[in-house]
Amino acid sequence: MNDIRRVGVVGAGQMGAGIAEVFARAGLDTVVCENGREALRAARNRIDRSLHRAVERGRTSEEQRTDAWAHLIFAEDLEALADRQLVVEAVVEDERVKAEVLGTLDKVLVDRDAVLATNTSAIPVTRLGITTGRAAQVVGLHFFNPAPVMPLVELVSSLHTDQTVLNRVETFAKEVLGKHVIRSRDRAGFVVNALLVPYLLAAVRMAEAGNATPEDIDAGMVHGCAHPMGPLQLADLIGLDTVQAIATSMYEEYKEPLYAPPPLLSRMVEAGLLGRKTGRGFHSHRGV
C-alpha cells in the first residue's frame, strides 16, 4: 500500500484544478492553494463543473462526486500545506514563479521526506530543484489536460532526484491515481512535448503563411490522419501562452529553428487570444 495520503496542489487554474480533482477522486486528503478568494472561487467552480460532467457522461457516480468533495480543502496560505506528504505546484509556466513557489514550499513542509513535484511542461527539473534545500525530493510530475480524463503522467527525475523518491512517486501515480506513467530524462519538453510542440508550431506556421485556414488544417489532420483533434484546436485547448512558453524553453535549450515560437503565436499571446480559456484563439470558443 502506498504511504502517500496527504497531498496538496498549488495553483488551481485549468491544470491545477484537474490535478486536485484526480487526487480527491482517489480518496486523498487534498489541500488546494490559490492566491485570493476570487481565484479560490474560480477553482471550486472548475472542479464542480468537471465533476458534474463526469457524472453526466457516466465516468463517475453521484456518490463518488460527493465523496470527492469531502476530500477537498481550499486555502489561501501555503502554511496550510505544512503536513503534506506530496505537493504539486501547478502555477503559470514561468521558471521564476515556479522556483519561488518551490522555495517557499521547501520552508513550509515539515516532513523532510515530503516530495515536491512540479507540473512543468518543459522547464528542466534540475533548475527548479536546486532552488530548494531538498533537491533529492524534487520530481517532475507532468499531467495532461484534462487531468481527470487523460491517463498519462510523465515522471521526470533531475540530476539530484533520489531513486527511492522516484520509485515512490511512480508507485503512487500508478497504484493510487491509476495513471499510466512514463519516465523521461530531464530535458526541455521531456517526451511528449518534445514530439508534439514542433507539430503544433508547424501548423501555426502553415496558417501564418496563408497556405490553409485553421479550419482546413485541423480538418486535414482529423479526417486524413485520424487524429482526435486538429493541431490548432489542440493548441487552443492547451493554451497558446503555454504552447509559447514550452516552445521558448525548448528553443533556449536546443537552438533548433523548429522549436522557435512563430511570430503569429507571439502576437496572439500578446493580444490575449489564448484559446479556449479566453474564448478565442485560432478558433472561437464562446459558450464552450
Rounded CA separation 34/42 (Å): 10
Residue 85 neighbours by CB under 8 Å, 6+ apart: 3, 4, 5, 6, 7, 111, 113, 114, 115
CA angle 103, 105, 108 (to 5 degrees): 120
If one counts every other C-beta atom within 10 angstroms of the C-beta of residue 223, the result is: 10
What pLDDT digit, counting tens, does each position of 169-190 carry? Answer: 999 999 999 999 999 999 999 9
Query: What is the structure's pLDDT at 286?
Result: 80
**Does the annotation mark 121 as catalytic?**
yes
Question: Catalytic pick from 157, 158, 193, 249?
Answer: 193
Rounded CA separation 69/51 (Å): 9
pTM of the full structure: 0.91
Query: What is the structure's pLDDT at 134?
Result: 96
For residues 221-250, average pLDDT = 96
For residue 12, the one-letter residue type is: A
Query: What is the structure's pLDDT at 69?
Result: 95
Domains plus CATH for the chain? 6-184 (3.40.50.720), 192-278 (1.10.1040.10)
What pLDDT digit, counting tens, does each position of 204-213 carry? Answer: 999 999 999 9
Query: What is the structure's pLDDT at 165?
Result: 97
**Does the annotation mark 284 as catalytic?**
no
Question: Catalytic pick from 154, 158, 170, 249?
Answer: 154
Q: Which three cell numbers stand for residue 14?
A: 485549468
Handedness of CA 257, 258, 263, 266 (dihedral sign): negative
Question: Catalytic pick from 21, 71, 93, 121?
Answer: 121
What pLDDT digit, counting tens, does each position of 246-274 carry? Answer: 999 999 999 999 999 999 999 999 999 99
Question: Catalytic pick from 34, 142, 170, 184?
Answer: 142
What pLDDT digit, counting tens, does each position of 56-113 carry? Answer: 999 889 999 999 999 999 999 999 999 999 999 999 999 999 999 999 999 999 899 9
Cβ–Cβ under 8 Å, residues 61 and 18: no
**Does the annotation mark 142 as catalytic?**
yes
pLDDT reading at 1 higher than 70: no
